[in-house]
Structure formats: structure tokens, C-alpha cells
């Protein structure tokens, strides 16, 4: 499989998050030698009542549990959105060899945006980074999700306004 094929599977994870009313981000850990998908996950912050349960954290923990090891030397991570500062740092601590991401995230990203964490002198392991894999699909999913959220909020506000008029 090529990076696009893996990213398609990460996007499937993001779609699962979307259906569960979670911010649609999906991630995989892949062994580049065997080609095996070691773990797959999506963001579960809402249902897990855990603001740090990003797709990357979930997938790295799952992979470690499965492999019964605390780091992910030589393994690669696929994630549909550019990792945030926390996830970029976590991937460094986990010793992930390479990160493939989909859409860049100008607001919250930390790999090619914002703090560009891997360029910091305090970062001691720098995964190779390749962005823009199926970025349009990943961005489209996020746009649809937040568009839907805004619609729901507007509808709620209208209902509240109507109630206030009636009172
Ligand atoms: Zn994150």
C-alpha cells in the first residue's frame, strides 16, 4: 500500500469520529517493513470526557499496548490533520520514525504551523514529516463537521430566542 492508501484508512477512522459527534480526526500506526497496521483510532475527547484524547494519543497508546512496549521505534504514524503541540511532542517521546499528515492546521498545528515543534532545540527526536496526503478530503470532513455544529448552534439559539419572545 502507498501513503494515500493508508491515509484513506485514517480517513475512515475520521468518519467514525464524525458519526460519533467527535471532531473528525483519524490516525494509524503502521509498520513500514511489514506494511501492517498496528493500531487505528480516532479522536474521542467528547465521549471519553478527556480533552487530550486526540487521535494521535489514542493510536500511539493502542499500538504500545498491543506491542507491549513503551515506545514506537521505526514505526510510522498517519493522521488526517497536522498534529497539535501535545501530539507532536508525544510522537517525539514515542520515537515515531515518520509522520504522514493530511490537512495542515494553521490554527492548532505544531509541525509545519505555529511552534514548528520539531525545529525546537529542546526537541530530541525529530520524526520525518510528510504533509498534504489527501489533504482536501481531510479538510472537507472537518469543514462539514464544524458547519453542521454551527447550524445546530444557530437552530438552538433561534429556539431560545422564540421562547424568550413567548415569555
Ligand atoms: Zn493533538
Q: What is the pLDDT of residue 156?
A: 87
Q: Length of the chain in residues, anyone?
A: 167
**Centre of ligand 1 from the C-alpha of residue 84, in Å:** 4
Residue 65 CA neighbour count, 13 Å, CB half: 8
**Centre of ligand 1 from the C-alpha of residue 9, in Å:** 19
Q: What is the pLDDT of residue 142?
A: 96
**Which regions of the chain are under pLDDT 50?**
none
Residue 104: strand, helix, or coil: coil
**Centre of ligand 1 from the C-alpha of residue 33, in Å:** 26
Element (H, E) at 60: helix 55-67
The Cα–Cα gap between 5 and 114 comes to 28
Task: List, by residue number, the catalytic residues.
Answer: 56
The x, y and z cell numbers of residue 91, run together, are 510522537
Can you list the alpha helix ranges (DSSP code H) found in 26-166?
A: 55-67, 85-93, 135-166
The x, y and z cell numbers of residue 123, run together, are 526537541
**Centre of ligand 1 from the C-alpha of residue 30, in Å:** 18
Q: What is the pLDDT of residue 167?
A: 58
The Cα–Cα gap between 66 and 158 comes to 48
The Cα–Cα gap between 112 and 97 comes to 17
CA Rg value for the chain: 18
Q: How many CB atoms lie within 10 A of CB 6?
A: 22
**Centre of ligand 1 from the C-alpha of residue 160, in Å:** 34
Amino acid at each position: 500500500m502507498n501513503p494515500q492508501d493508508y491515509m484513506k484508512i485514517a480517513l475512515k477512522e475520521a468518519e467514525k469520529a464524525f458519526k460519533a459527534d467527535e471532531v473528525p480526526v483519524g490516525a494509524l500506526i503502521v509498520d513500514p517493513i511489514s506494511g501492517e497496521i498496528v493500531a487505528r483510532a480516532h479522536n474521542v475527547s467528547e465521549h471519553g470526557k478527556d480533552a487530550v484524547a486526540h487521535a494521535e494519543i489514542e493510536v500511539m497508546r493502542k499500538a504500545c499496548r498491543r506491542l507491549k512496549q513503551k515506545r514506537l521505534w521505526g514505526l510510522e504514524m498517519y493522521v488526517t490533520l497536522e498534529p497539535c503541540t501535545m501530539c507532536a511532542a508525544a510522537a517525539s517521546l514515542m520515537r515515531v520514525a515518520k509522520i504522514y499528515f493530511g490537512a495542515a492546521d494553521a490554527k492548532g498545528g505544531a509541525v509545519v504551523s505555529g511552534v514548528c515543534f520539531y525545529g525546537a532545540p529542546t526537541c530530541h527526536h525529530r520524526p520525518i514529516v510528510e504533509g498534504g496526503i489527501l489533504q482536501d478530503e481531510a479538510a472537507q470532513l472537518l469543514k462539514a463537521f464544524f458547519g453542521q455544529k454551527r447550524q445546530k448552534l444557530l437552530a438552538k439559539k433561534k429556539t431560545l430566542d422564540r421562547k424568550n419572545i413567548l415569555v
